[in-house]
Structure 1
Amino acid sequence: MKSFKPIIIFLIVELSFVPATPDGVVITCYHSGEDSWEQTQVVKNASTHQIKEICPGDGEQNQRIEVKGSVKILYEDSFKGIPKLRGINVYGTNLEEIEPGTFKDLPELDSVDLSSNNLQEIKSGTFVNLKVEYLSLPGNSISLLQEKAFVNLSHVQELSLEKNNLQELKRGIFQDLHVTRIDLWSNNISKIEVGTFDTVFPRNDDGITLNLSNNSIAEIDSSVFDYKHTIILTLSDNSISVLRPGDLRNLPHLRDISLSGNKLKEVPEGVFNGSEIGFLVLNHNEISFIASKAFDDMKHLYYVSLNNNKLKEWDSNWFRGERRLSIIFSSNFLETIPAEAFTNIPEGTMLYLDHNRIKSISDSAFTGVTKLEGIDLGHNEIEEWNVDLLKNVEVEDFVDLTDNKIKCPENGSGSLAPKAHTIYLTNCSQIVTG
């Protein structure tokens, strides 16, 4: 039997250099050589009907097709008869419509890129029974996903629907979707129907990432965000103004959550307690109050960031736990660090308190602390520094005191934190003591 070398064919439609034609389509076919792609065919003034006639396969060829030009519609028969088709790229062609059935009977299809077109809706039955891994639809004008638009997709790594005009997600648009990541950022989504994600499943034990940032979501509705699998949730740059106890109760395996750039003013007790959250980001809100027990019983927490909020006071009851943390409270309005401020923080924690308005630190602020990874107190208004403040604290990395009003000691900055590896102080010798 004659053996065949795998051949991948690319179909390329050039935009800028195509003569004016009814379709304005140029198709270039490529196959894979030993080390690079080799051009095999150029067809101008082509039609997107029966593309098989332009780049025929023999049943043994693996093919990829890239289409560029003025392509308004993909027809039901556009890719018919190409069972070994692996990839389709129709990028920036002013595409307006995809007929249901366009991708039917393509069992080897693993990537579809329809980015930067003029699609306004995805019709029912468009993406059905596919093994596609990468499905890209960003930068269109999609305002409607019909019911059963995405059905029985078992291998999706990335479903990209960002930068469209979606205002609502309805139950039934995703059916038996197995996915690693769904990008829905930069739409105008304000409503998500209960049950929208009921038949969305993670491809593996790592769970799914759901990015809904830069939309118009006003609240975290626990009946909508009801998902029993591992999930990373991004809700940054929405219009969420209140966190309520129990908002996340139906996300038992929520691993990371970002709520930056919303309108939050406080963090009450009962929102994050007892969760599996490890990575918590609340930057660029208006938070001025955090309940004393807001972060209790968070055994998986390793990173919490509240940059650019309006916090004026540090609560020494925060962060009871055993796992080393990165705590980032940069660019707030903290003015003092109270007694025993850090008694509860886990050993080896990294503290960022830079760019606040800190003027004074209690002599007992670090009572009970034996080891830190580092502490950044730079860009504050500290005038006096007690040389005994960090005398018993091992600092694995650095103590940053730059841009304060602390005078350089005669024996160098090393005396300010004798067990720190590196100390930074403006206009003072930078001493490495470890």
Structure 2
Amino acid sequence: MHSLLLNLVVRICLFNVSNSDKITFENVTVRSYFYKGALETQATSVNLKKIIPDEEKVRVDITGGVPILYEKSVFDIPNLNSLDLADVGLEEIKPGAFGNLPLLDTLFLNRNNLTPIKNGTFTDLNVSYLNLSSNSIFLLQRGAFKNFKADHVSLDKNKLTEISSGVFENVTLRSLSLTNNHLYIIAPKALSAIGLTTLSLFGNKLEEIDPEAFDMQELALLDLNDNSIKLLRPGDLRNLIELEVFSLEKNELKEIPDGIFNNTKLTYLNLAANHIVKIASKAFDGMLALTLLRIDSNNLTQWDDWLTSPFASISVRFNQITEIPDEAFKNYFRLFNINLQGNRIRKISTKAFRKLEQIRYFNLADNEIDNWDPDTLGNVSIVSLDLSENRLKCIKGDLETIFKNVQKIRLENNPWKKECAKKVEKFQKKKEANTVVGWLAAITI
């Protein structure tokens, strides 16, 4: 009986041995970089503090095997500025492993074998950059980042399927990257009130923009490229009042209705590589801050006056547009860049540019234009016009008169008739020479 009792007491004592007494760093190489130089040591220790030199500010890189960070293994180190634990085979971080690190700025835990991040793992940590990318993280427990502060956190290339409520409890975080995970759910308010200005969700499985999940009123940049978003609804962006850069490339959108982007602060909107066949005529009205709208690689067959600002560039490359209609740019007298490369444009109305006075760059390359009416451009002034890779065989009339308001023009790789080819070549050389002279004059001035 006495023997059994003693055995039970011993087992209980062994079970209750503090994790802080377990060796975290065993036969590892520690490289310490500091103001006066660098130091490399082979070490075994419970706490990193006992390994690194007592210098004012130290950056530490560790190589070797560190399967578990035990409690207080990186603790009470006032001079630790940067710690690199990438590629050390890390499988688990015990809550309380990090603490009392007032100078810690960057923490690299990428390219390891972490799976869940447990409650309390990064409690009270204050860093500029935390890198957790390229692990096997499938779960962030509630409170994993409690009282945590950082400028940027990377959780790229993991196995997360959900961001649940409470994960970022009492957190201050400016930038969060969750690219190439398996996310299909972001819980309502899960990322609210933490101060995010940049959020990257590229390469996930989100199917909608839930306004309650995307309630981030300081967010300026949102990357939702390469997800599975099928539709946009009026009011989807109502809680993203400071959003300026929004990218939805490579999703499954087919239609852009009114009421999504109207009167927003967006300066950049990317809708490329979807399946868009229809855009409501007022879908982009009121976007006065817009500088670039990308609708490349969709299935649009008709051009509409989608531009919302005279300072905006619009790129509608590689769609199925067949003509540019009357008064295609009727709402503006001056436009920036228009890129219609790689469509099926064959016809351009002679009234297309009515009311328009100036375009900086107009790209019509790689279309099916086989006829160019001398009156097409009217009096519009164009800095650069690209008509290469079309089906033009000849342009009747004096080219210098027809393109008198075009500073630079590309006409190569058209099937020019022999008698027209020489005229085109001579004209282009003269244009190029005039352009060089103009540049030299500008430099001299």
The alignment's TM-score, normalised by the length of structure 2, stands at 0.85
Paired residues for 1:102-181 under 5 Å: 102-154=97-149, 156-181=150-175
2:94 aligned with 1:69: no
Matched residue of 1:47: which SS? Answer: strand
**Hey, what's the Cα distance between the residues in 1 that align with 2:224 and 2:67?**
34
1:219 corresponds to which of 193, 208, 211: 208
**Hey, what's the Cα distance between the residues in 1 that align with 2:372 and 2:45?**
74
Hey, what does 1:32 align to over in structure 2? 34
Root mean square deviation, CA, Å: 2.0
Hey, what does 2:235 align to over in structure 1? 246
**Hey, what's the Cα distance between the residues in 2 that align with 1:286 and 1:111?**
41
Segment of structure 1 superposing worse, 81-90 or 182-191? 81-90
**Hey, what's the Cα distance between the residues in 2 that align with 1:116 and 1:25?**
20
2:55 aligned with 1:52: no
1:95 corresponds to which of 71, 90, 103: 90
Segment of structure 1 superposing worse, 174-183 or 69-78? 174-183
2:225 corresponds to which of 225, 236, 242: 236
Matched residue of 2:169: which SS? Answer: strand
1:66-102 alpha-carbon deviations (Å, 9 max, x no partner): 1122210112232234221111110111100111111
1:207-252 alpha-carbon deviations (Å, 9 max, x no partner): x110011101001111211122242111111111111111111211
**Identical columns (%):** 38
Paired residues for 1:17-416 under 5 Å: 25-32=27-34, 37-38=37-38, 40-43=39-42, 46-47=43-44, 49-57=46-54, 61-154=56-149, 156-202=150-196, 208-316=197-305, 318-321=306-309, 323-345=310-332, 347-396=334-383, 398-409=384-395, 414-416=400-402
**Hey, what's the Cα distance between the residues in 1 that align with 2:243 and 2:392?**
43
1:274-304 alpha-carbon deviations (Å, 9 max, x no partner): 1111100001000010011111111111110
Hey, what does 1:19 align to over in structure 2? none
Does structure 2 conserve the Cα–Cα contact (< 8 Å) formed by 1:413 and 1:423?
A: no
Does structure 1 conserve the Cα–Cα contact (< 8 Å) formed by 2:183 and 2:205?
A: yes
Counterpart residue type for residue 225 of structure 1: F
1:91-142 alpha-carbon deviations (Å, 9 max, x no partner): 1111001111111111111110000000001111111222200100000000
Matched residue of 1:150: which SS? Answer: coil
Pairwise CA distance, 1:55? 2.1
Does structure 1 conserve the Cα–Cα contact (< 8 Å) formed by 2:294 and 2:316?
A: yes
Q: Cα 1:95–1:62, aligned 2, differ >3 Å: closer, same or farther?
A: same
Hey, what does 2:417 align to over in structure 1? none
Does structure 2 conserve the Cα–Cα contact (< 8 Å) formed by 1:356 and 1:380?
A: yes
**Hey, what's the Cα distance between the residues in 2 that align with 1:232 and 1:379?**
33
**Hey, what's the Cα distance between the residues in 2 that align with 1:275 and 1:311?**
24
Q: Cα 1:414–1:149, aligned 2, differ >3 Å: closer, same or farther?
A: farther
Segment of structure 1 superposing worse, 232-241 or 65-74? 65-74
